């Protein structure tokens, strides 16, 4: 595929070839915040559906940009059809937004006995953990991706492509670390110490513990509060029989992310910070042996009169300043010069990225005069992706 000036020297990314490949079952879009990642994920999902794929788009970004761009009032934890999409024969398009707590609840309900599930779901410590504990969102993102893929494998009529829109910035790859982080928390020394009385479950034992560990438990009680400590003990004791399944599923999802059927797309804008983040993503994915499809470079400045350089345009504007009645023309020439200078800066930044990562394939999307708010706008983005 031919590339334009901004990506000169970089291999082109064949987006349509990726979307049409039945072997590609998962596309993960990651990148810094504010680079159009959610819009890119939505555009990919729509284009794939309208080329005959059965697609579900999962956003982990708590902002509601995906729903807005797809003409939906809101999204929730259940996939719902996107009205107005025009899938080709056999295609379909669903969209959903990760509900972290609801996903955690579903895992507990599916893998614990009814009594044990009730103990966990009503435990105050669990309610806090499932809503706000650092890393829970990323862990539940892996759970939800695993659920969607399992459903797709079990029901061939459901989806054959899952597009994942990750959280902004470097947290987009935190789901790679989330299982180990949550596991370390629940297996850590402090948690085992706190949970020991509840697991044994006897008042006599509590007396022994209070004598043997009076200093530690006293400090914890003062730090956490007596009721919180009891809630934490009860939570860990109840979760103990369930958590092993968490790890197994997380390991399977991690392997899924490394499989040939997965394609990671790093999304960036032609700006220094965004491309630095893109370099981080590329290097981290290589380190984790995750399959990188390429880079999507959004909001690229284009020039319809590229043969008129910034210098020549400024010289011409200065000449016109000497003549009365040419103020408008001089102003337009200066605007063109500014655009050409911005385009030149973007080319330099893109060239640096390509120099550091020469094998990364790139597709570019021209800057638009306004944000995308509907399916027609998403279709235009899809066209740009396929030709950029």
- Hey, is 17 helix, strand or coil? helix
Picking from 151-165, 200-214, 219-233, which range would have the lowest pLDDT averaged per residue? 200-214
CA 132 to chain centroid: 18
DSSP, res 168: S
> Quick one: average pLDDT of 233-248?
65
Question: Cβ distance 268 to 335 under 8 Å?
Answer: no
Question: Cβ distance 152 to 158 under 8 Å?
Answer: yes
The whole-angstrom separation of Cα 344 and Cα 364 is: 15
pTM: 0.81
> pLDDT digits over 37-67, tens only?
989 999 999 999 999 999 999 987 666 767 7
Q: What pLDDT, on a 0 to 100 scale, did the predictor assign at position 81? A: 92
Q: What pLDDT, on a 0 to 100 scale, did the predictor assign at position 216? A: 42
The whole-angstrom separation of Cα 300 and Cα 21 is: 27
> Quick one: average pLDDT of 247-260?
82
Residue 14, C-beta contacts closer than 8 angstroms, at least 6 positions apart: 1, 361
Cross-strand bridge partners of residue 30 = 266
Q: What pLDDT, on a 0 to 100 scale, did the predictor assign at position 172? A: 60
Q: What pLDDT, on a 0 to 100 scale, did the predictor assign at position 164? A: 94
The whole-angstrom separation of Cα 85 and Cα 76 is: 19
The residue assigned the tokens 């410590």 is 125
Give the confidence band of 272 by pLDDT, cuts at 50, 70, 90: very high
Average pLDDT, the chain: 79
What are the boundaries of each domain within the chain? 5-306+337-387
Alpha helices in 259-292 (DSSP H): 272-287
Encode 200-220: b = buried (16+ Cβ within 10 Å), e = exposed.
eeeeeeeeebeeeeeeebeeb
We find that the CATH architecture of domain 5-306+337-387 is 3-Layer(aba) Sandwich (3.40)
């Amino acid at each position: 595929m031919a590339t334009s000036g901004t990506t000169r020297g970089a291999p082109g990314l064949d987006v349509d070839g990726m979307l049409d490949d039945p072997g590609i079952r998962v596309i993960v879009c990651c990148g810094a915040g504010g680079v159009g990642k959610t819009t890119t994920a939505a555009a990919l999902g729509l284009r794939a559906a309208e080329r005959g794929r059965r697609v579900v788009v999962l956003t982990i970004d708590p902002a509601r940009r995906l729903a807005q761009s797809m003409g939906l009032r809101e999204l929730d934890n259940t996939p719902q059809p996107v009205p107005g999409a025009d899938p080709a024969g056999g295609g379909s398009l669903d969209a959903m937004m990760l509900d972290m707590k609801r996903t955690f609840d579903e895992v507990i309900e599916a893998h614990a006995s009814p009594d044990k599930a009730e103990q966990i779901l009503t435990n105050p410590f669990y309610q806090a953990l499932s809503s706000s504990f650092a890393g829970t969102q990323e862990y539940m993102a892996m759970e939800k991706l695993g659920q969607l893929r399992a459903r797709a494998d079990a029901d061939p009529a459901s989806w054959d492509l899952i597009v994942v829109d990750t959280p902004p910035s470097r947290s987009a790859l935190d789901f790679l670390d989330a299982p180990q982080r949550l596991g370390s928390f629940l297996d850590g020394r402090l948690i085992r110490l706190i949970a020991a009385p509840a697991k044994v479950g006897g008042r006599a034992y509590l007396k022994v513990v209070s004598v043997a560990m009076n200093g530690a438990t006293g400090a914890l009680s003062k730090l956490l509060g007596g009721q919180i400590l009891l809630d934490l003990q009860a939570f860990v004791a109840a979760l103990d029989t369930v958590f092993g399944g968490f790890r197994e599923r997380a390991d399977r999802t991690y392997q899924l992310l490394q499989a040939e059927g997965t394609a990671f797309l790093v999304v960036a804008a032609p700006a220094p910070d965004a491309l630095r983040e893109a370099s981080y993503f590329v290097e981290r994915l290589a380190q984790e042996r995750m399959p990188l499809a390429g880079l999507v470079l959004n909001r690229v400045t284009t020039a319809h009169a590229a043969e008129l350089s910034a210098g020549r345009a400024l010289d011409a504007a200065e000449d016109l300043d000497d003549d009365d009645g040419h103020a408008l023309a001089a102003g337009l020439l200066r605007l063109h010069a500014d655009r050409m200078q911005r385009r030149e800066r973007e080319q330099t930044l893109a060239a640096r990225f390509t120099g550091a990562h020469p094998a990364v394939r790139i597709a570019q999307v021209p800057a638009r005069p306004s944000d995308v708010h509907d399916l027609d706008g998403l279709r235009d983005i899809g066209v740009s992706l396929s030709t950029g």
